[in-house]
Amino acid sequence: MDVLSDAIASIRLGQPSSSRLYTHQRDWCTRLAPHFGAGFHIVLRGNCWVLPDQGDPVMLGTGDAVLLPHGTGHVLSDRSIDAQTVAQAVPFEQWRAEQASERSSDTVGFEALCGKYRLDRRGQHPLVAELPAVIHLPARTGDHRELRAAIDLLALEADERRPGSCIAVPSLLDLLLVYMVRAWMTESRTGIWSAALTDPVTANALRALHTDPAASWSNDRLATEAGVSRATLTRRFATLVGQPPMGYLAWWRLTRAAALLRDTTDPLSAIADQVGYATAYAFSNAFKKQFGTSPGRYRHHGSTVAGPVDTPDSPQSSEEFHHLLDRVITSDTVD
């Protein structure tokens, strides 16, 4: 798999959900509480304002989409949001129930698709961690055609009980999440991972590690795969990703193992083999060091375990960076 696909798959739980909202009211205002997942809104008709719990308000027009990848609580309103508006916000579930009366195309002033994704934040990939609290994707003609196509298809399927819709809608929602994150990465000028995945050397190395994380990788073998010297790979990878290739691989193997523990019934020995560990004992020791609990307990407690979110740290200074390189340059493989 590629990095973005793996980053999403490793934290996704169950199926996403969505609903279509209509209202003919004016001066409406509703609040969505924070949750352990991601949420989105797509305006199909009219406009609205989004005010995250921390951050500036964002105005959405027809065709605009907004993704809240960290489940940030926020207020939706049809007017500019101030402190008085926030104080009057009706809880979302109550507001949605109030709008459940029959839809009339002559009276609907606002229409939107809203949805959420259930996510397991333990060990989330730094690509996901670096996403901003609010991603606003304006509807601009010609931009991100795959995103616009997914929105159009989802608008057709939502609330329509067509044959196969129980499969079509969750699949479209999965596509929508990928396309929204991809669109942000394309336009981002500050994202670390946007830079990493557009650098040919680092991107090739990451693609190789994610395609076969269980392989017997070494710095030399990975450098050959990327078509550069070992020193060049190590420096470019660490500069863009925040740690050297073998350190990232060790972290990713265990993060991938956590997802397998959560989503499958495979025995520990099989999972250890899938992520490149020679024995279940070596795997268990490494897993406990990263997640603070044994693989068995992690699996038993499922998503209720409040394990540490352990993502690769970026070097904080040039001195720290070169110390990091000196420390790992002789560490050629991952056990």
In terms of Cβ atoms closer than 10 Å to its own Cβ (0-12, 13-18, 19+), residue 92 is middle
Q: 49 and 76 in contact (C-beta within 8 Å)?
A: yes
Question: Cα-flanking dihedrals φ and ψ of residue 334, to 5°?
Answer: -105, 130
pLDDT of 21: 85
Q: What is the pLDDT of residue 81?
A: 77
Tell me the HSE value of 110 on the side-chain side, using a 13 A CA sphere: 23
Count the alpha carbons within 13 Å of 224 in the hemisphere toward its beta carbon.
4
Residues pairing with 32 in the sheet = 74
Query: In the numeric block, which tokens belong to residue 21?
Result: 């909202």
List the Cα angle 254/180/99 in 5-degree steps.
115
| Sign of the CA dihedral with 288 first, then 293, 295, and 298 last | negative
pLDDT of residue 109: 82
Contact in structure between 39 and 119 (CB atoms under 8 Å): no
Contact assessment for residue 261 and residue 253, using Cβ atoms and an 8 Å cutoff: no
Pull the structure tokens for residue 280: 């279940």
Scanning the structure block, which residue is given the tokens 């005010």? 51
Asked if residues 95 and 77 have their Cβ atoms less than 8 Å apart, the reply is no
Short-list 187, 173, 115, 179, CA closest to 147:
179
Report which residue type is found at 279: T
Q: pLDDT in tens for each of the 335 residues of the chain?
A: 799 999 999 888 888 988 888 888 888 899 999 998 999 999 999 999 999 998 889 999 999 999 999 999 999 998 887 777 788 899 988 888 877 654 555 556 889 999 999 998 887 899 999 999 999 999 875 678 999 999 999 988 876 678 888 889 999 999 999 999 999 998 887 788 999 999 999 999 999 999 999 999 999 999 999 999 999 999 999 999 999 999 999 999 999 999 999 999 999 999 999 999 999 999 999 999 999 999 999 998 874 433 334 444 433 333 333 343 333 333 445 54
Q: Which two tokens stand for residue 185?
A: 């990465």
Q: In what order do the strands lie in the sheet with 65-68?
A: 12-23, 110-119, 37-45, 65-68, 135-137
Question: What letter would DSSP give residue 17?
Answer: E
- Which of 59, 151, 45 has the alpha carbon at shortest distance from 103? 45
Q: Are 273 and 214 in contact (CB under 8 A)?
A: yes
Distance from C-alpha of 254 to C-alpha of 123, rounded to nearest angstrom: 9
Q: Distance between CA atoms of 321 and 323, rounded to whole angstroms?
A: 5
Question: How buried is residue 74: exposed, middle or buried, by Cβ count under 10 Å (0-12/13-18/19+)?
Answer: buried
Closest of 172, 141, 167, 143 to residue 155, by C-alpha: 172
User: What pLDDT is attached to residue 101?
Assistant: 57
pLDDT tens, position by position, 202-251: 999 999 999 999 999 999 999 999 999 999 999 999 999 999 999 999 99
The DSSP string of 265-288 is: ---HHHHHHHTT-S-HHHHHHHHH
